[in-house]
């Protein structure tokens, strides 16, 4: 099995100078972190034995050079490039990715821009990725898509291939109130895009919960223990806090760089490392340090803030602004507090070589990480892992995902400058024994759940969940062999009955119920089937009798309305009741439902002759789910002593006469005659009662790949029609 990793950028950067290509391995967190895991593939017991990485190689490559570059990166880096014009990439990266998603997902709506053009370019880039991937994907591949640049890709791939698909988001998933600020099309398609995956992973439980709530509120889809039933698979949402390569940080020989902590008489070092980004809280950190110096003159000359700031996204205006703000503030603090022998803020606007970074981690007494929002923050973990002497204090913002796993550190709210200042003072005075104790606990955790464990956990859950979901979907899927058996059975049978539901089965579900009238094609299909004297067709619908009469009344069909209250036998005029029914109970039920309709905006009542339905699919789904149990209990208390019952369907509660449902109705038909062939086809919750009452030898088919009592499922409504067509033609 091969693991196909997909990310926006390849772990290798291809550049061209004077006609010569150079390929440099990037040192990003994901790349270096995963390298150990990837190197282990094929050696252990994992089903995954090899990998390939797909992404953008980082520059414009001429059409005629593509083959050469592809071959080169494949051989040397196990990478497969997605060739995109730099123009499109820049547009998307600096547009929807970093001017819309990044600020919004990090709770900076004021920085977010909602331009439709950005969105369309983002979609286009995801499509290009899809097309390139389709050329690469092999049958035994498992796909792992990374991060916010490619959120549409899982669903785009799902339409085309049946490989297991995983997705991991490296940044926070915001709360519903933030996410809903995206315009309708993009917020819906992003959620649907992610749900195309078998497994959607987040760093923290909160992000996963935010996602599930958005799915509920925007798509109206509920989850069961983080699992969402999609038409053809189950999407599982889960938490995988990303780890680091602990051994590397803990054991790396960093010579010749000094890594000893400065001794007595030398200033203690407070370190911060991050990309230049407004989400990282760099300005607040400096202000906090400034306040600390104001409040604690005793520390003057004895402590330095060593700020490593890595240049990032220089093309985005808000990043340039923060850079000049930062330069100014550093000058101000150094000017106000520094002197000839002491520079309070050492400011390095650069990316350090890896060894030097670890050396700086080791020599720092304190790491001060104050993001206002951060998906995880790997620097926090790397700092603790690097401390070979176990001495040092981590100050971490409660808004970083990492804070959830690092409770032995000093956790602060970075919006409060006073809290930052006090935390620095506290950290500098924590007794060494307590530092060591806390760091050992955190190191044990980081060692146990390192990046290899993180990746292998994700991949094994992905394999498991996709296998279960494929099995349950395919177990019942009406495949060619079973379909043939069904048709043979039909052909051979002397007497047959087809019990078929209307909405969702014979016609697609319609937004407006009154516009679901049958096409001429459907009408001729039904009368064609019925014209065979050996076949009885029964339309089993929850609709009222007048509508059915209007649409199908001129055909010679058996019609049943209101889930079986009314029957119209084929060839006869007029409707009759299945049995004597009462509607007196409506007097009490209707006012009760009216009261709840007033309480739940968007809900409405549908009254029929012998049934009343309360629909809430248009209501606020969270409000509805709180109220539904109360409505159900209330109705049950009303009908206890009368001959009516309450059924809870999909976003509807229905009250009707006892003994009236599609199951009872089916029994009525089946008791009239011995049939050699019985077929029940349905699509909705009320058809489940029909399936449950079918005798063992009957065929039952539900539309949609979902949990069902039916023996078989077909993917979509068109497949049900297709099946009926085959019966008519005797194919």
Which residues form the catalytic set? 170, 374
Nearer to ligand GDG, 372 or 557 (CB): 372
In the numeric block, the tokens 């497949």 are attached to 719
In the complex, what is the shortest distance from the CB of residue 203 to ligand GDG, in angstroms, rounded to a whole number? 6
Query: Residue 368, interface with ligand GDG (CB under 6 A)?
Result: no
The residue range among 313-321, 327-335, 372-380, 615-623 that interacts with ligand GDG, by the rule CB under 6 A, is: 372-380
Please pick, from the candidates 120, 275, 453, 668, the single residue that binds ligand GDG as defined by CB under 6 A.
275
Query: Residue 346, interface with ligand GDG (CB under 6 A)?
Result: no
Pick the closest to residue 450 from 544, 363, 350, 381 (CA basis).
381
CA distance 109 to 272: 26
Query: Residue 170, interface with ligand GDG (CB under 6 A)?
Result: yes
Element holding 158 (H helix, E strand): helix 153-158
Name residues contacting ligand GDG, limited to 301-330 (CB under 6 A): 308, 310
3-state secondary structure of 43: coil
Query: Residue 375, interface with ligand GDG (CB under 6 A)?
Result: yes
Number of H helices and E strands in the chain, helices first, is 25, 28
Contacts with ligand GDG by CB under 6 A: the residue count is 20
Name residues contacting ligand GDG, limited to 25-84 (CB under 6 A): 27, 29
In the complex, what is the shortest distance from the CB of residue 58 to ligand GDG, in angstroms, rounded to a whole number? 17
Nearer to ligand GDG, 109 or 601 (CB): 109
Binding letters toward ligand GDG, positions 215-244, x by CB under 6 A: ---------------------------x--
Please pick, from the candidates 61, 379, 540, 653, the single residue that binds ligand GDG as defined by CB under 6 A.
379
Which DSSP state fits 517? P
Nearer to ligand GDG, 85 or 247 (CB): 247
CA distance 317 to 688: 57
In the numeric block, the tokens 């059924």 are attached to 647
Phi-psi region of 602 (alpha: psi -120 to 50; beta: other; left: phi over 0): left
Name residues contacting ligand GDG, limited to 77-136 (CB under 6 A): none
The length of the chain is 731
In the complex, what is the shortest distance from the CB of residue 650 to ligand GDG, in angstroms, rounded to a whole number? 38
Query: Residue 155, interface with ligand GDG (CB under 6 A)?
Result: no
Buried b (16+ CB within 10 A) or exposed e, 612-639: bbbbbeebebeebeebbeebeeebeeeb
CA distance 172 to 558: 56
Query: Residue 374, interface with ligand GDG (CB under 6 A)?
Result: yes
Nearer to ligand GDG, 29 or 542 (CB): 29
The residue range among 264-272, 376-384, 453-461, 632-640 that interacts with ligand GDG, by the rule CB under 6 A, is: 376-384
In the complex, what is the shortest distance from the CB of residue 112 to ligand GDG, in angstroms, rounded to a whole number? 16
3-state secondary structure of 238: strand
User: DSSP letter string over 435-468?
Assistant: HHHHHHHHHHHHHHT-HHHHHHHHHHHHHHHHHH
Please pick, from the candidates 377, 397, 452, 708, the single residue that binds ligand GDG as defined by CB under 6 A.
377
Nearer to ligand GDG, 203 or 608 (CB): 203
Query: Residue 273, interface with ligand GDG (CB under 6 A)?
Result: yes
CA distance 633 to 717: 34
3-state secondary structure 61-83: CCHHHHHHHHHHHHHHHCEEECC
Positions touching ligand GDG (CB under 6 A) are 27, 29, 170-171, 242, 273, 275, 308, 310, 351-352, 354, 357, 374-379, 382
């Amino acid at each position: 099995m091969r693991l196909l990793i997909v990310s926006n950028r390849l772990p290798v950067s291809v550049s061209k100078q004077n006609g010569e290509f150079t390929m440099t391995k990037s040192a990003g967190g994901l790349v270096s972190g995963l390298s150990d895991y990837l190197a282990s593939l094929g050696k252990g017991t994992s089903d995954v034995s090899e990998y390939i990485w797909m992404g953008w190689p980082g520059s414009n490559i001429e059409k005629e050079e593509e083959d050469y570059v592809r071959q080169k990166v494949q051989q040397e880096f196990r990478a497969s490039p997605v060739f995109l014009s730099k123009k499109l990439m820049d547009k998307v990266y600096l547009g929807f990715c970093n001017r819309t998603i990044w600020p919004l997902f990090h709770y900076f709506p004021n920085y977010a821009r909602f331009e439709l053009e950005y969105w369309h370019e983002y979609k286009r880039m995801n499509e290009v990725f899809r097309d390139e991937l389709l050329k690469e994907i092999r049958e035994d591949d498992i796909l792992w898509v990374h991060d916010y640049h490619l959120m549409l890709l899982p669903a785009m791939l799902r339409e085309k291939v049946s490989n297991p698909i995983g997705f991991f988001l490296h940044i926070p998933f915001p709360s519903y109130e933030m996410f809903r600020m995206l315009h309708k099309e993009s917020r819906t398609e992003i959620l649907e895009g992610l749900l195309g995956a078998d497994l959607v992973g987040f760093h923290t439980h909160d992000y996963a919960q935010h996602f599930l709530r958005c799915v509920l509120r925007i798509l109206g889809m509920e989850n069961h223990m983080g699992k969402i039933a999609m038409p053809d698979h189950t999407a599982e949402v889960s938490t995988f806090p990303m780890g680091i390569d602990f051994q590397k940080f803990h054991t790396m020989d960093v010579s010749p760089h000094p890594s000893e902590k400065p001794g007595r008489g030398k200033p203690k070092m407070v370190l911060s490392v991050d990309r230049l980004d407004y989400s990282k809280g760099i300005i607040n950190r400096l202000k906090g340090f400034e306040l600390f110096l104001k409040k604690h003159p005793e520390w003057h000359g004895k402590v330095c803030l060593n700020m490593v700031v890595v240049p990032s996204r220089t093309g985005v205006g808000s990043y340039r602004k923060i850079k000049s703000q930062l330069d100014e503030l550093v000058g101000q603090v150094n000017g106000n507090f520094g002197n000839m022998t002491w520079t309070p803020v050492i400011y390095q606007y650069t990316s350090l070589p890896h060894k030097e970074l670890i050396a700086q981690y080791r020599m720092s007494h304190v790491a001060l990480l104050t993001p206002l929002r951060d998906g995880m923050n790997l620097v926090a973990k790397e700092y603790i892992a690097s401390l070979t002497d176990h001495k040092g204090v981590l100050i971490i913002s409660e808004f970083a995902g990492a804070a959830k796993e690092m409770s032995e550190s000093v956790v602060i709210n970075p919006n409060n400058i006073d809290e930052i200042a006090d935390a620095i003072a506290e950290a500098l005075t924590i007794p060494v024994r307590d530092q060591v104790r806390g760091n050992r606990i955190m190191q044990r955790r980081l060692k146990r759940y390192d990046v290899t464990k993180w990746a292998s956990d994700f991949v094994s859950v992905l394999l498991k969940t996709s296998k279960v979901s494929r099995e349950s979907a395919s177990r019942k899927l009406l495949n060619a062999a079973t379909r043939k058996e069904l048709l043979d059975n039909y052909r051979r049978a002397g007497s047959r009955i087809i019990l078929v539901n209307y909405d969702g089965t014979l016609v697609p579900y319609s937004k407006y119920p009154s516009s679901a009238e049958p096409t001429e094609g459907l009408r001729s299909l039904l009368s064609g089937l019925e014209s065979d004297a050996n076949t009885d067709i029964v339309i089993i619908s929850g609709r009222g009798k007048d509508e059915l009469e209007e649409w199908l009344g001129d055909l010679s069909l058996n019609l049943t309305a209101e889930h079986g209250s009314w029957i119209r036998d084929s060839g006869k005029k007029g409707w009759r009741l299945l049995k004597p029914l009462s509607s007196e109970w409506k007097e009490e039920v209707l006012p009760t439902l009216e009261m709840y309709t007033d309480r739940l905006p968007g809900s409405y009542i549908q009254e029929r002759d012998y049934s009343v339905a309360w629909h809430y699919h248009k209501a606020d789904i969270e409000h509805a789910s709180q109220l539904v149990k109360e409505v159900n209990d209330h109705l049950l208390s009303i009908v206890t002593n009368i001959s009516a019952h309450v059924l809870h369907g999909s976003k509807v509660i229905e009250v009707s006469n006892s003994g009236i449902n599609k199951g009872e109705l089916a029994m009525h038909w089946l008791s009239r005659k011995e049939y050699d062939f019985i077929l029940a086809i349905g699509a909705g919750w009320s058809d489940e009662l029909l399936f449950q009452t079918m005798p063992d030898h009957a065929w039952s088919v539900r539309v949609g790949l979902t949990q069902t009592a039916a023996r078989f499922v077909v993917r979509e409504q068109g497949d049900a029609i297709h099946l009926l067509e085959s019966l008519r033609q005797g194919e």
